[in-house]
Amino acid sequence: MSKLKNERSLIPLVSVIGLVSAPLIFILGMVAGSQIQLSSILTADSLSSWVSALATVAIAVLTFILAKETWYLREAQIEQVNSLRRENIRPSVSVTLKNSDISFNLMMINVSNLGKGIARNVSFKFIDKNGAEFSEGENVIVDHFLRLHIFSNGMHSLGINQKVDSFLFSFFELKGKLEGDDIFTPFFKIVVSYTDVEGNDYSNELTIDFAELKGITEIGGGDPLHKIAGDLKKLREQLERMTNSSSKKLHVNTYTSKDREAQRKADEERIAEYKKQLEKV
């Protein structure tokens, strides 16, 4: 393809060189002819007329070529401007299947628009290995997708940087529902189709292959921020139990100086009584 383009780009250059050199070759031929006594055939006036005619033809052809190249350049500029305009309004809808931060066995689905324009008429298709579209009830994982309205009925629009997150399924729910009870067997493709604000069609494709999850493990027992949030919730519940009165005030026992003095004397008497008992022994 590139070789063909290079050959096409050389055609105008070769044509221009040929047209420019033609009058020069003709003039040189006339000069050479005069040396071999051909001047009697062509007079000086006829020679000048021929040269002027050939020069006029060469200028006309060069003007035509220049106009043609200018037109091609204008078309290229218009196409480039249209391409830049389409890129500035082009959406890019992405679908991501990921593990939840709360627990590794919980799967979340994320649909987001990473492009520069609004995505309209977003629809989803689920394709098997042979290219056939899944329908409801044919695949356990696909059924979980189709339970969400956006996957079964599509979306009217998805704004720039807009995201839709949802819980999809738990691996514990798949127990006994997959072929051979192997969670690594599901394989299918999600084809996302959508348009931009001008009606131009686009599509993305995501491959879901659970075999890629083999060997992936988790350490730490989940997202630390989620654990901190749980601990703060427990702390709040403890504080609420401490302020369970209608006034929402803490119940605090206060001690005065007399109370502390009485407590000190009681402690001294108890220690003295304990010493007496030890002496009796």
Q: Is the model's pLDDT at 85 over the cut of 80?
A: yes
Give the SS3 label for residue 109: strand
Cα gap 265→258, rounded to integer Å: 11
Backbone angles phi, psi at 52, to 5 degrees: -65, -40
pTM for this prediction: 0.58
73: confidence class by pLDDT, cuts 50, 70, 90: confident
What's the rounded mean pLDDT across residues 246-250? 63
Residue 249's pLDDT is 67
Burial 136-172 (b: 16+ CB within 10 A, else e): eeebebbbbbbebebbeeebeebeeeeeeeeebbeee
